[in-house]
């Protein structure tokens, strides 16, 4: 067995990549203001590289009023002073490359901040050079908004601008006006903003809410959803946004030619990758469409970022995408900065570190690339946030039924000591919960049985077995609480088994096998013979099928 990449794999590195998501505000504070920054990432690159990951995705660090913590960009080409300078970014990029890490940055293309110079000009009147750069519409005869579209963050998606005597569209906060991608000038300008970062040497782009760029030019009302179908995918289920079928405010067919324009630009820069975030009425279908030849390299959706947790759900989601995606490529994640931490979401009220290990093992075994959110390698749980601590505008709008996204965004605990658990020398922007101190990096580094060390061993196994990186996937029959599949290569297959339950489960093996589960990766199976394996609770098992 060998971990060497083939020539094809090296050229298409992203197909087997493990991407470590850095929430820049919460990784490490280098200047002592309580907020993580770019120099802080640079100082922690040694740790990130030690995990064995291939790339890091950095959340927005551009100039912004921070109404949505950087996803409201006011200057696409400037670093916000909170996070450092453009020179700090260049230093980070060079240092990452020096450690063999690629750098993917967030790009927010569908909207800007209302403080962006483009919007400040556009809102002045109906005749200025940027008058048509945003989505403006007249009121109905009774003065109400032009249609029934809703904002994900609550309320209507239209805000009145008295200067223009028109409404403007915002799918998110009212301080995040939507750009008008039907205007060719807007498309060209956005491509120029992307090229600015390409010329600085970035290795890829995570494209935020990429299916929201285009809207229906006729401004048709979205139809209602029946109550039984009103379930959230990346947003609070008590949000009226879930009451509509979002057919007209996003995921419009005009997006496909723009993706091809974007890909044409990207292809001028060898090995640069695009990763799209998809949240649509049929996200798996949109992923397939957006990753077709000549469009995005890969995409991810919220299908495994939900509360639903079972072997059946995971199997059904992966198999359905496999059937629909054709030559496209998925990027799987079970956690990110927008949803409750996976160990709390899937692990129940008293989750075990063994579950954290199993969730990581499972994620790193699926066919596709992987986005692993900072803290998952430590097995962090969702942080309890009190009302007075809420910073997220989404949580402020929907408290207490939805407490927002702050609980998954708290600072990474580097030490079990100090005011901010080694994250900062001062009070951090969000509190570090007491229970996270017991999961600190410093403690887990010294413990060979820790979640962190198991994470490293699983990534090493993925590197060793090429089938786990690029092989096909085929699910096998198994007990209801077991996920069982093969990663199939041209010469051999690797069997992957995961016991999602707290009870031991016996498996009958499909044939002769060689156990390749690394020592210490998981609780050892209670026993295995030539024909069967007994998985202990939350155990993972890997075997080469002879």
Tell me which residues are annotated as active site.
208, 277
β partners of residue 111: 178
Report how far residue 541's alpha carbon sits from residue 484's, in angstroms, rounded to the nearest whole number: 9
Inter-axis angle of helices 86-98 and 184-200, nearest 10:
60
- Name residue, tokens 């009870």: 503
CA dihedral 535, 536, 539, 540 (to 10 degrees): -20
- Would you say 536 and 524 are in contact if contact means Cβ atoms under 8 Å apart? yes
Structure tokens given for 154: 């609550």
Residues in the chain: 546
**Alpha-carbon gap, residue 399 to 384, rounded angstroms:** 13
Three-state SS string across 291-331, please? Answer: CCCCCCCEEECCCCCCCCCCHHHHHHHHHHHHHHCCCCCEE
Residue 386 contacts residue 410 (beta carbons within 8 Å)? no
**Which three-class secondary structure string do you get for 181-215?**
CCCHHHHHHHHHHHHHHHHHCCCEEEEECHHHCCC
Report, in angstroms and rounded to the nearest whole number, the Rg of the chain calculated over CA atoms. 23
Instruction: Describe the crossing of helices 283-290 and 255-266 by its angle, rounded to 10 degrees.
Output: 50
Token digits of residue 177 = 């006006």
Q: How far apart are CA 431 and CA 35, in angstroms?
A: 11
CA distance 106 to 59: 5
Q: What is the DSSP pairing of strand 493-499 with strand 540-545?
A: antiparallel
Closest C-alpha among 59, 146, 72, 36 to residue 106: 59
Strand partners, 487: 473, 494
Please tell me the distance from the alpha carbon of residue 279 to that of residue 211, in angstroms, as a whole number: 7
C-alpha–C-alpha distance, residues 512 and 284, integer Å: 35
Helix axes 283-290, 311-324, angle to 10 degrees: 40
Sign of CA dihedral 193, 194, 195, 198: positive
And the tokens for 103?
């750098």
> DSSP of 232-244, one letter per residue?
-SSS-TTSGGGGB
Is 273 within 8 Å of 14 (Cβ atoms)?
A: yes
Q: Which helix (H) or strand (E) holds 360?
A: helix 353-363
Q: With CA atoms as reference, report the closest residue to 509 among 521, 493, 491.
A: 493
């Amino acid at each position: 067995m060998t971990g060497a990449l083939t020539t094809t794999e090296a050229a298409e590195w992203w197909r087997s990549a493990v991407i470590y998501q850095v929430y820049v505000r919460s990784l490490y504070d280098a200047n002592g203001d309580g907020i993580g920054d770019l120099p802080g990432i640079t100082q922690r690159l040694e740790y990130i590289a030690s995990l064995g990951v291939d790339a890091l995705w950095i959340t927005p660090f551009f100039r912004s009023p921070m109404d949505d913590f950087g996803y409201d960009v006011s200057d696409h080409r400037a670093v916000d002073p909170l996070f450092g300078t453009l020179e700090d970014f260049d230093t980070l990029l060079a240092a990452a490359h020096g450690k063999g890490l690629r750098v993917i940055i967030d790009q927010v293309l569908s909207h800007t901040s209302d403080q962006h110079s483009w919007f400040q000009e556009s809102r002045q009147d109906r005749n200025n050079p940027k008058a048509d750069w945003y989505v403006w519409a007249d009121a109905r005869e009774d003065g109400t908004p032009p249609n029934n579209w809703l904002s994900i963050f609550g309320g209507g998606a239209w805000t009145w601008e008295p200067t223009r005597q028109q409404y403007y569209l915002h799918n998110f906060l009212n301080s995040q006006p939507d750009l008008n991608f039907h205007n060719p000038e807007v498309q060209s300008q956005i491509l120029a903003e992307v090229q600015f970062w390409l010329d600085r040497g970035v290795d890829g782009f995570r494209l935020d809410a990429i299916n929201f760029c285009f809207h229906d030019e006729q401004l048709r009302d979205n139809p209602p959803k029946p109550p039984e179908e009103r379930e959230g995918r990346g947003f609070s289920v008590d949000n009226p946004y879930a009451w509509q079928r979002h057919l007209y405010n996003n995921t419009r067919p005009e997006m496909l030619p723009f993706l091809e324009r974007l890909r044409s630009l990207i292809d001028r820069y060898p090995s640069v990758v695009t990763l799209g975030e998809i949240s649509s009425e049929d996200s798996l279908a949109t992923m397939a469409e957006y990753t077709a030849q000549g469009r995005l390299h890969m995409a991810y959706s919220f299908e495994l970022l939900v509360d639903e947790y079972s072997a059946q759900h995971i199997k059904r989601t992966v198999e359905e995408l496999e059937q629909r995606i054709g030559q496209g490529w998925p990027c799987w994640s079970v956690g990110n900065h927008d949803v409750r931490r996976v160990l709390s979401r899937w692990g129940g009220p008293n989750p075990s570190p063994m579950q954290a290990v199993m969730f990581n093992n499972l994620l790193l075994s699926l066919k596709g690339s992987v986005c692993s959110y900072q803290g998952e390698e430590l097995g962090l749980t969702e942080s309890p946030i009190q009302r007075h601590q809420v910073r997220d505008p989404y949580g402020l709008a929907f408290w207490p039924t939805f407490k927002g996204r702050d609980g998954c965004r708290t600072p990474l605990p580097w030490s079990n000591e100090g005011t901010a658990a080694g994250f900062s020398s001062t009070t951090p922007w969000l509190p570090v919960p007491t229970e996270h101190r017991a999961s600190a990096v410093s403690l887990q580094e010294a413990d060979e049985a820790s979640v962190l060390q198991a994470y490293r061993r699983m990534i090493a196994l993925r590197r060793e077995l090429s089938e786990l990186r690029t092989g096909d996937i085929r699910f096998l029959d198994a007990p209801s609480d077991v996920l069982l599949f093969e990663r199939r290569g041209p010469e051999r297959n690797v069997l992957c088994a995961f016991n999602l339950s707290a009870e031991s489960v016996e498996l009958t093996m499909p044939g002769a096998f060689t156990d390749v589960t690394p020592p210490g990766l998981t609780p050892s199976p209670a026993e295995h013979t030539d024909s069967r394996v007994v998985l202990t609770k939350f155990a993972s098992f890997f075997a080469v099928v002879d």
